[in-house]
Amino acid sequence: MNDRLLADLADIIRSVARVSADVELGAETRLIEDLSIDSLDLVGIILKIQDDHGVSIDEDDVPTLTTLGSLAAYVENRRGAAAA
């Protein structure tokens, strides 16, 4: 797992969904169950990731991105695909 990417995505989640700094975010953190992120927050997070990381996230894939770790793996994979 790319720790830098994980930290970047955690920052995006904090800023978009206004998650308190007191809440620890890790690869296992579940976006909906642990952070109470709603559907609007999720769209905002996806848009911000696309903007900041230059990747395209297929909306059909969004339901599978349930944890911070799965999100980071997906972004890493898309970056690799784009570079290939």
Partner 1 sequence: MSVRIVVVGHSAVTCLGSDMDTTWGNLVAGRSGIKRHESLSSESFLRDVAGRVEDVGPGTAGEEPAVAKLESGYLHFALRAARAALEDAGLTNRRAEIDPHRVAVSVGSAFGGQDLLESEMERSRRRKSLSMSPYLIPALIINQAAGQIAQHLGFYGPSIAPANACASGGHAIASAAMFLRAGEADLALAGGSESAFTPAIVNGFATMKALASQKPGDRAFEDPSKASRPFSGDRNGFVMAEGAGMLLLATEAEAKRLGLEIQAELVGWGSNTDGHHLTMPCRERIAHGLKTVLQRAGIAPESIDYYNAHGTSTPVNDRTETEVLHDVFGAHARNLPISSIKGAVGHALGAASAIEAAVCVRALREQILPPTINFQVDAELDLDYIPDQARPTPIEYALSASFGFGGTNNALILKRGDR
Q: With binding defined as CB under 8 A, does residue 47 bind partner 1?
A: yes
Helix (H) or strand (E) holding 80: helix 68-83
Q: With binding defined as CB under 8 A, does residue 41 bind partner 1?
A: yes
50: which residues sit within 8 A by CB, 6+ positions away? 56, 57
* C-beta of residue 72 within 8 angstroms of C-beta of residue 1: yes
Q: With binding defined as CB under 8 A, does residue 18 bind partner 1?
A: yes
Stretch near partner 1 under the rule CB under 8 A, chosen from 3-11, 16-24, 28-36, 64-72: 16-24
Number of shown-chain residues binding partner 1 (CB under 8 A): 11
- Give CA–CA dist 72/79, Å, rounded: 10
Q: Given the rule CB under 8 A, which residues bind partner 1?
A: 16-18, 39-41, 43-44, 47, 50-51
